[in-house]
Amino acid sequence: MRKILVILLAGALLLSGCVQNENDAYIGMERDNIQDLVAGGEMEFVHEFRGQSENWAAMYIVYKPKGEEIHTSRPFLKYIGKDPRPSGQLRYKYETLGGGDGSGTLPSVDEAGHVYNLGSSGSNGALSSPDTPVEMQVWWNDSSEFIQLKPITD
């Protein structure tokens, strides 16, 4: 009986470590890191999407302050892979259902764990659906990965 209890306890500790590591992928990309959201203004809406692949974690957030005409969208990427680290140019493309597609190039990346703010855009046009995943593709070091970002609900 004691052996079974020890095995169960060890398994629980192992599984809780896995959950923690998965959440660590998004450190630096939380809502608390976006100045507009930290400033304390009342928001009409905030839609957040997160996903990860073998080497990258990504977040896409769309928000609109109450009383404003324009909503803002902001994509982020973070390298979570092992060595070799990304180097040189990084290209990305993301697509949403209904609006908010984008692409771009960062001329130089070279850090694991660094959060890359891929910019922000303001619009009063079409919004992506808050319930539909965002699809992102990343190219670096002669490699590429696809990331599906799923809606995060509070």
Domains, in order of start, for the chain: 28-152 (2.60.40)
Read off the pTM. 0.80
pLDDT category of residue 48 using cuts at 50, 70 and 90: very high
State the residue for tokens 């095995």.
Answer: 7
Instruction: Please give the single-letter amino acid code of residue 107.
Output: P
Contact by Cβ (8 Å): 132, 54: no
Rounded (10°) CA dihedral 9, 11, 12, 17? 130
pLDDT category of residue 7 using cuts at 50, 70 and 90: low
Q: Identify the residue with better confidence: 38 or 19.
A: 38
Q: How far apart are CA 54 and CA 75, in angstroms?
A: 18
Contact by Cβ (8 Å): 96, 136: no
- For residue 15, the model assigns a pLDDT of 47
- For residue 50, the model assigns a pLDDT of 95
Q: What is the mean pLDDT of residues 103-113?
A: 81
Helix (H) or strand (E) holding 2: helix 2-24
Q: How far apart are CA 74 and CA 59, in angstroms?
A: 8
- For residue 5, the model assigns a pLDDT of 45
**Burial classification of residue 117, based on how many CB atoms lie within 10 Å of its CB (0-12 exposed, 13-18 middle, 19 or more buried):** middle
Residue percentage of the chain with pLDDT more than 90: 34
- For residue 21, the model assigns a pLDDT of 56
Looking at the predicted structure, is the pLDDT value of residue 144 above 90? yes
Report the range of poorest mean pLDDT among 45-49, 116-120, 142-146: 116-120
